Amino acid sequence: MAKRSTLAQLAPRPATQVRTAAQVFLQTLADAGVSQAWGIPGGTISPVFDALCDVQAIAYVATRHELAAAFAALGHARVSGRPALVLTTSGPGVTNVITAVASAHFEQLPMIVVGGEVPARASGRGALQDGTAEGWRAAEVLGPIVRWAGRVCSPAAAQSVAARALGSACGAVPGPVFVSVPLDVAGQPATSFALGPSRPLARATPEREACLDLARALARAKRPLLVLGNGARSACKETLELAEAVGMRVIVTGHAKGCFPESHPQYLGISGLGQHPSVDQFLVTPPDVTLVVGSRLNDLSTNGWSMVFEGTAATFHLDRDPVLLGRNVQATHCLVGDAGRTLRRVLSVLVRSAQPLVVGGDPLRRHRPELERSDQVPLAPPRVLRALQDVLPDAIWCSDIGEHLAFALHYVGVDSPDRFHNLLGFGSMGSGVGAALGIQRSRPGERVICLCGDGGFSMLLGELLTAVEQRLPLVFVVMNDARWNMVEHGFQAVYGRSPDGLAHARGDFALVARALGAAGVCIERPEQLERACLSETLRSRSGPIVLDVRIDPSESLTRETRSAAIRHFRGEAPDV
């Protein structure tokens, strides 16, 4: 018997009251599990905000900037696996989220951006902020970085557009979508249909023979290597079981920190930004079989593609996005599929040895571990990170982009992927500040540390007010070196000098925090990092606290490795 069309299953939903297109749109998303919206209201998006009053399953938080709203949605998606809504007015409201939309694209995180639009009857008449094909063409501007861009052209289309937006955002390769809603259409009466229950999304798995090839290669391997990227976050259990079954040494990119327990004896460390010496030591002798899971192996995770991960016998590259396979690694075998499902199939056919192989090599080694106990003034960043781990051992870390991230990747120890987050896919300063809002909102019973530099924190400083209003117990740790430090170290290493403007006035962020209604403490001396003192500073509170930590700007993890990576990236000969 032929399968019935989805359209044939639609039936008019009995209506107890007339609903607007905006209400139908939001209710469709709420029925599918969307529960959080972030954004800033404005004229053209006002009917959607009005509809939020009637769709109470979706909570709303107002931010101080649309960019922060979109980054907060990414934080929500990272820890919940579900998309959040980003609601913006037309024109600059939409353009303000573009950086975060690009981040969602490269992070492969679901996000639904809903932008207000001028009334349909005003399109092409020079209306302010007209984003239609007759104006600045919002859908075309966002097109290259969204999975789908659509428009609610009529009230009757509201439900189908919402369903398609959700399906596109949560597809086999998740990502952001953009929907424009004209002002006049959003407020018009609309009908909806009773949709059947949605089925779980089918995840792809490579053919059994491809999984057998991988299992056979691993069974024969004498020096196997497992490289984990951001796409392995959903397969932590499987990667651990496989590594232990075969005796693989494990390297994790900075984007995926925590995907493999860092206390595990087979863990070698982070590659690329924040790299550990134990990774270099292991790669002196090439592996015979390499399995790369969920990593595009870009310049940031390979020090400008200067690192060689390929196995001498075979290199397997597994990713759910076929576009990324073999792009930056000479793969002998490419496997398209969901990491968890694929590795479970490999484990099911793997011939396990009674005596699992134990591959030689140093355990995890850190650069200058003595810095974690240093009493120098200004403070050494590793000393600050060690103190925070001692006092808040179960905290969730959310790092912004900058020199401090390299230190965190290197010195902070975590054993699960839900304990450390960054948005390195696009590397946007300020992203950690916004994402921390979304993570803390989604994990109300947890303590979230937002690690940032003075530069990135300044970019979205207004969101401290958002945290105050929402009573989010965020710990903002501002590594204050009064400069664009990673950039300055790069200039000095590559050019031997740096332009004016990289160093700037040292702001008092603790004072600013108190002025905005948060707690604020300036930390300048090592005794303030002692357990008793820091515990008292961070005692449980109902709102955010800002730690303005005065660090030594001369300390750098990226000065040598990142400058060498830049030279390699530019095709320059290495130093001899």
CA 504, 505, 510, 511: dihedral to nearest 10 degrees?
Answer: -150
* Distance (Å, whole) CA 156 – CA 342: 41
* Distance (Å, whole) CA 569 – CA 576: 17
**What CATH number belongs to 369-563?**
3.40.50.970
Joined together, the tokens standing for residue 186 give 């959003």
Q: Which residue do the tokens 């530019």 mark?
A: 570
* Average pLDDT of the chain to the nearest whole number: 90
Phi-psi region of 428 (alpha: psi -120 to 50; beta: other; left: phi over 0): beta
Distances (CA, A) of 144 to 113, 138, 401, 482: 15, 11, 24, 36
Residue 5, pLDDT score: 33
Residue 164, pLDDT score: 97
Helix (H) or strand (E) run with residue 268 in it: strand 267-271
Contacts of 202 (CB under 8 A, 6+ apart): none
Joined together, the tokens standing for residue 465 give 């007010």
SS3 387: helix
Residue 22, pLDDT score: 98
Residue 202, pLDDT score: 57
Supply angle C-alpha 478, 480, 486, rounded to 5.
105
SS3 75: helix
Max CA pair span of the chain: 78
Query: Is 90 exceeded by the pLDDT of residue 519?
Result: yes
Query: pLDDT band at 11, cuts 50/70/90?
Result: very low
Label the pairing between strands 148-151 and 475-480: unpaired
CA 375, 378, 380, 386: dihedral to nearest 10 degrees?
Answer: 60
Using one digit for the tens of pLDDT, what is the confidence trace for 533-552? 999 999 877 899 999 999 99
The string of DSSP codes covering 76-141 is HHHHHSS--EEEE-STHHHHTTHHHHHHHHHHT--EEEEEEE--GGGTTTT-TT--STTTT-HHHH
* Distance (Å, whole) CA 54 – CA 162: 17
* CATH 3.40.50.970 domain locations along the chain: 15-190, 369-563
Using one digit for the tens of pLDDT, what is the confidence trace for 119-161? 877 777 777 777 787 788 899 999 999 999 999 999 999 999 9
* Distance (Å, whole) CA 61 – CA 1: 49
Query: pLDDT band at 450, cuts 50/70/90?
Result: very high
Higher pLDDT residue, 1 or 299? 299
Residue range 373-380: mean pLDDT, rounded: 96
Q: Which residue do the tokens 């060690």 mark?
A: 386
Q: Which residue do the tokens 């995840």 mark?
A: 203
**CATH assignment of 208-349, among 3.40.30.10, 3.40.50.970, 3.40.50.620, 3.40.50.1220:** 3.40.50.1220
Lowest-pLDDT range of 28-37, 495-504, 553-562: 553-562
Using one digit for the tens of pLDDT, what is the confidence trace for 318-340? 999 999 999 999 999 999 999 99
CA 469, 423, 258, 314: dihedral to nearest 10 degrees?
Answer: 170
Query: Is 80 exceeded by the pLDDT of residue 3?
Result: no
Phi-psi region of 398 (alpha: psi -120 to 50; beta: other; left: phi over 0): beta
Q: Which residues pair with 112 in a beta bridge?
A: 85, 177
Using one digit for the tens of pLDDT, what is the confidence trace for 456-508? 999 999 999 999 999 999 999 999 999 998 888 888 888 889 888 888 888 99
Nearest to 307 by CA among 337, 343, 336, 273: 273
Percent of the chain whose predicted confidence (pLDDT) is above 90: 76
The answer to whether 161 touches 151, Cβ cutoff 8 Å, is yes
Distances (CA, A) of 512 to 247, 517, 521: 52, 9, 10
Q: Which residues pair with 549 in a beta bridge?
A: 479, 523
Give the global pTM.
0.92
- Would you identify the CATH topology of the domain 15-190? Rossmann fold (3.40.50)
Using one digit for the tens of pLDDT, what is the confidence trace for 274-310? 999 999 999 999 999 999 999 999 989 998 888 889 9
Using one digit for the tens of pLDDT, what is the confidence trace for 72-115? 999 999 999 999 999 999 999 999 999 999 999 999 999 999 99
* Distance (Å, whole) CA 262 – CA 178: 38
N- to C-terminal Cα separation, the chain: 73
Nearest to 109 by CA among 209, 208, 234, 15: 234
* Distance (Å, whole) CA 483 – CA 506: 8
* CATH 3.40.50.1220 domain locations along the chain: 208-349
